[in-house]
Amino acid sequence: MTASYEPGRRELYWLDRWQEWDLYRTEQDPTRPKYYCLEMFPYPSGDFHMGHARNYTIGDVLARFHRMNGYNVLHPMGYDAFGLPAENAAILRGMHPARWTWQNIEKLRYWFRRMGYSYDWEREIATCHPDYYRWTQWMFLFLHHRGLTYRARAPVNWCPQCATVLANEQVVQGGCWRCHTPVVRKELEQWFFRITAYADRLLDDLKLLDGWPERVKVMQANWIGRSEGAELRFRVEELGEDITVFTTRQDTVFGATFLVLAPEHPLVKRLAAGKPGESRVLEFIAEAARHRGEPEDGAAERPKRGLFLESYCRNPATGEDIPIWVADYVLMEYGTGAVMGVPAHDQRDFEFARQYGLPVRVVVQPPGGGLDADTMTAAYDGPGVMVNSGPFDGTPNEEGKARVTAWGQERGWARPAVQYRLRDWLVSRQRYWGAPIPIVYCERCGIVPVPEEQLPVLLPEVVDFSPRGMSPLATAPEFINTTCPTCGEPARRETDTMDTFVCSSWYYMRYVSPRYTAGPFQKEAAFYWLPVDQYTGGIEHAILHLLYSRFFTKVLYDAGLVPEPEPFRRLLTQGMVLKDGAAMSKSRGNVVEPAPIVEKYGADTARVFELFAAPPEKEIDWSDRGVEGVYRFLMRVWRLAEVRPGLFRQVPGHPEAADAAAREVRRLVHRTIKKVTEDVRDRFMLNTAVAALMEMVNGLYAYVGEDRTGGDPAVVAEALHVLVRLLAPFAPFITEEMWQLLGGEGSVHRQSWPAYDPGLVAAEQVTVVVQVDGRVRHRFQAPVDATREELEAEALAAPRVRQFLDGREVARVVTVPGKLVSIATRPAAS
């Protein structure tokens, strides 16, 4: 390679210059339109590989593009720095989680800078810093004061081997991710966020998110899982109480031949008490509890197990007494933990009824009729007409739903109800490396929130990390023991920390005023910058992080603290970078390290390769060949500039259209501006934008000749002036070098984006295609503005065309000016 540009060396040079010039500092400026461009911030795990780089590279191109287009761009970076791996490092290597974390942040920071990402480093944040988690605690209190937190007993995942609590994500196939010991359930007092209070709005507002991928919205809608139905009450005379069930099929209540309770349902033990089968029931409950910890995979295929409780309740529609069962296919967490068994019209109830010989009664006949309880082999859950349903016989079942609910409501046993799959958000974690929950327990005053002015509740430095089954903070007496903020008496601190998803649910707000000390963010800055215009990150956060962030934004919006109810206007979910067909990971040993790539080819090459290989949403396979191809392209670009130092100072900016070749080059240049602009701005098709630049470079080589010095200097100057700027967001280093060499003023990254001349974009001549009976038979050149008649005349006159018309006559001619003439024929009339 003879090129005089050495990326490994020159990129370092430019990094220093840019730092001197403070190129990416962002200030509020109400006179300019703002553009908030954000990539999901990383967890500082210690490794940075080319798979990570893609996300930030995509975001960086968008940020740089908008900056050149006159937007005031906010493009910050930070670290999602709390989390369990840091604590494990403490346990395994005796290194303090803080030290481990800050070391890793140091590495990430190096690579972000080295890759040329245009972050405003003045705004860097880390969620584990007290100046940040102080405001995470503030958010907890903010929700608390708005009635959106509560404390309740809840089961947690518990590894008996490690004697510690595990996060849901750390339970792999029912076992501990580290020692594979089967996880058991354990009841603990936990803090919850009442996200279900926002379920409807989280669902409805998905409609506002035009700029989100459809599949993410669908995933969120499914996750929220809204179901409309009714709550029905079944009288239990024996207890003098009702059992309430939730159903979406009120229309089938006449077919309810039994009732089923979840094993954890409180009435199960009461109903069994004193009955002959009591001990078997208790055994059943215990057995079911063990199963709950098992992997859910295939749960639907597992045979349903149940037990008759020797009790009855009254079907409110028919007045019949029906048996009450307990069964493991009913979930306590959903609805009321009790369901009515309608075997004819619910597959699960059907399987259960057949297994235990319970009666089946058809109450909805499909359009053709003929459904018979004795012979049916599966439940019928389609539409039909109600039968065996007293006053409702003959009613279409869909219509019957509302009528049955109203009928039952008049009689006092039904009411309309809505259920969600979404559960409240459990935020307590029995871990050290997280934001302490700012709560104090006082014997006299009860649960007392820490007053805002006493924040942050600092994490103690010294604690015992060895796993013992409670929060490590419980081992630090100087942390636990405090005084009650209300009465001043001795009190105890909450020893759990917050789920790290709490930290990441509001970080995009902190960036608008990252050093603000009077609140989580300055309101004026929030109203200027929010919402995020462009958010880029992995699909793996399609539900959790994005749903939690939407929740936080809505709560703050309701308080008037942020301008819009949704946090992220446009969302781009980038695909993974694979190596040998699999996601890069240390354990798999297929990680592409950035250091050798960047040293050999430069960060520009790494960036452009990841952009060029496929559209951003798609996964790409790392290819050393592909990388070399991109490197060749960039060096090819460089060589165009290499032979023309100072060019921009020597020739006029606006070339006269000299000869045909010059005009063709100018057309290419302006067409490329249009293509790249639209691909980046409207379609996120960064791969085709790069392809268009390659095409342009190929065209320029043809124009300037083998020694690269030919062509009209003014035309070449215009072309290079455009090329360098179009390429700048993709390859910031080499374009800066070219810009200086060619004699540009200032930094290329402070230049405005090229504008194209629409008059130049349109070709003067076009190739018109002539089809005869659907096949291309001829093509000819014509002026772009040639009329329909002119084109038809020319097409029909062409000898090639006449040949195909021989012995046939023209049936029809369809002409699209500027494109084609299509001739349909039929056999000539004799």
Q: Within positions 323 to 342, which residues make up the interface with RNA, using CB under 7 A?
A: 328-335, 337, 339-340
- In the bound complex, what is the minimum distance in angstroms from residue 489's beta carbon to RNA? 44
Interface with RNA in residues 700-719 (CB under 7 A): 701-702, 706
Structure tokens at 22: 């403070």
Which of the ranges 57-65, 300-308, 728-736, 754-762 carries the binding residues for RNA, by CB under 7 A?
300-308
Is residue 511 classed as helix, strand or coil in its secondary structure? coil
* C-alpha span between 706 and 720 (Å, rounded): 17
Q: How many CB atoms lie within 10 A of CB 768?
A: 22
Contact 352, 323 (CB under 8 A): no
CB 476 within 8 A of CB 460: yes
625 counts as binding RNA under rule CB under 7 A: yes
Give the range of 84-92, 165-173, 295-303, 563-571 binding RNA by CB under 7 A. Answer: 295-303
Asked whether 581 and 620 are in contact (CB, 8 A), the reply is: no
Which one of 107, 113, 186, 636 is in contact with RNA (CB under 7 A)?
636
Q: Which of 204, 297, 398, 524 binds RNA (CB under 7 A)?
A: 297
Residues 350-409 that bind RNA (CB under 7 A): none
Q: Based on CB atoms, which residue is closest to RNA, 299 or 755?
A: 299
Choose the binding region for RNA from 89-97, 457-465, 622-630, 741-749 (rule: CB under 7 A).
Answer: 622-630
Angle (nearest 5°) at CA 719 between 717 and 720: 65
Taking the least distance from each CB to RNA, the nearer of 419 and 549 is 419
Shortest distance in whole angstroms from residue 820 CB to RNA: 5
Query: What is the C-alpha separation between 771 and 761, in angstroms, rounded?
Result: 27
Tell me, residue by residue from 532 to 571, as one string, x for binding to RNA by CB under 7 A and - for no binding: -------x---x----------------------------
Q: C-beta of 702: minimal distance to RNA in Å?
A: 6
Q: Judged by CB, which is closer to RNA: 493, or 675?
A: 675
Tokens for 122, please give them.
């003045």
CA dihedral 632, 634, 640, 641 (to 10 degrees): -140
Report the residue number, 126 or 634, with the smaller CB distance to RNA.
634
319 phi-psi bin (left φ>0, alpha ψ -120 to 50, beta other): left
Distance CA 521, CA 306 (A): 54
Alpha-carbon distance 86 to 45, whole Å?
8
Residue whose CB is less far from RNA, 197 or 332: 332
- The interface with RNA within residues 678-697 (CB under 7 A) comprises 685, 687-688, 690-691, 694-695
Stretch that binds RNA, among 79-87, 218-226, 500-508, 655-663 (CB under 7 A): 218-226
By beta-carbon proximity to RNA, the closer residue of 603 and 689 is 689
**Helix, strand, or coil (residue 751):** coil
Give the separation between CA 669 and CA 21, rounded to whole angstroms.
30
Among 225, 451, 519, 783, binds RNA (CB under 7 A): 225
Task: Select from 749, 530, 564 the least CA-distant residue to 34.
Answer: 530
**Which of 97, 229, 316, 655 touches RNA (CB under 7 A)?**
229
Of the listed pieces 53-61, 299-307, 429-437, 489-497, which binds RNA according to CB under 7 A? 299-307
Query: For every residue of 553-579, which 3-state class applies, written as one string?
Result: HHHHHHCCCCCCCCCEEEEEEECCEEE
Tell me how far apart the alpha carbons of residues 782 and 779 are, in angstroms, rounded to a whole number: 10
Where do we find the tokens 């490092």?
89
Which of 160/629 has CB closer to RNA?
629
Contacts with RNA in 463-502 (CB under 7 A)? none
Q: Shortest gap between Cβ of 698 and RNA (angstroms)? A: 5
**Positions in 242-271 near RNA (CB under 7 A):** 246-249, 262
Applying CB under 7 A, does 623 fall inside the site for RNA?
yes
Enter the tokens of residue 325.
């069962």
* Of 2, 168, 517, 587, the one binding RNA by CB under 7 A: 2
Q: How far is the CB of 688 from RNA (least distance, A)?
A: 5
Tell me the helix, strand and coil percentages in the chain, rounded to 5: 40, 20, 40
CB of 257 to RNA, least distance (A): 13
348, 545, 569, 725: which one binds RNA (CB under 7 A): 348
Pick 526 or 821: Cβ nearer RNA: 821
Distance CA 630, CA 263 (A): 62
- Residues between 101 and 140 that touch RNA (CB under 7 A): none
CB-nearer residue toward RNA: 15 or 798: 798
Gap between the Cα atoms of 739 and 825, Å rounded: 58
Among 139, 123, 140, 25, CA closest to 79: 123
Closest CA to 738 of 644, 656, 664: 644
CA 476, CA 82: separation in Å to the nearest integer?
A: 19
Regarding 675 and contact with RNA (CB under 7 A), the answer is no
Q: 187 φ, ψ to 5°?
A: -90, 130
Terminal CA-to-CA distance of the chain, rounded, Å? 72
Select from 736, 726, 656, 733 the least CA-distant residue to 697.
726
Closer residue to RNA, CB minimum distance, 87 or 679: 679
Helix (H) or strand (E) holding 283: helix 278-292
Give the residue, chosen from 538, 626, 743, 817, that forms a contact with RNA under the rule CB under 7 A: 626
Tokens of residue 204, six digits = 């409805």
Q: Which amino acid is at 57?
A: T
**Nearest CA to 347 among 332, 370, 329?**
329
State the minimum distance, in angstroms, from the CB of residue 404 to RNA. Answer: 13
What is the distance between the alpha carbons of residues 24 and 4, in angstroms, rounded to a whole number?
28
Choice between 28 and 170, CB closer to RNA: 170
Nearer to RNA, 473 or 821 (CB): 821
Give helix then strand counts, H and E, for the chain.
27, 34
Q: Which is nearer to RNA, 46 or 615 (CB)?
A: 615
Q: How far is the CB of 671 from RNA (least distance, A)?
A: 11
Interface segment toward RNA; rule CB under 7 A; list 106-114, 150-158, 184-192, 220-228: 220-228
Binding to RNA (CB under 7 A) within 576-615 occurs at 612-615
Tokens of 410: 């008049």
Instruction: Enumerate residues 176-215 that contact RNA by CB under 7 A.
Output: 214-215
**Size of interface with RNA, in residues (CB under 7 A):** 87
Which residues between 759 and 788 bind RNA (CB under 7 A)? 766-767, 769, 771, 773-777, 779
Torsion of CA 759, 762, 765, 768, to 10 degrees: -150
Shortest distance in whole angstroms from residue 713 CB to RNA: 19
Beta-bridged to residue 193, according to DSSP, are 149, 425
Candidate segments 515-523, 525-533, 565-573, 810-818, binder of RNA by CB under 7 A: 810-818
- Give whichever of 656 and 706 is closer to RNA, judged by the CB atom: 706
Q: Choose the stretch contacting RNA; rule: CB under 7 A; options: 42-50, 171-179, 521-529, 617-625.
A: 617-625
Give the one residue of 151, 639, 674, 681 binding RNA; rule: CB under 7 A: 639
Structure tokens at 134: 């102080």
Q: How far is the CB of 485 from RNA (least distance, A)?
A: 39
Amino acid letter for position 626: G
Nearest to RNA of 106, 785 (CB atom) = 785
**Cα separation values, 81 from 78, 129, 226, 566, 587, Å:** 9, 8, 34, 25, 22
> Based on CB atoms, which residue is closest to RNA, 182 or 538?
538
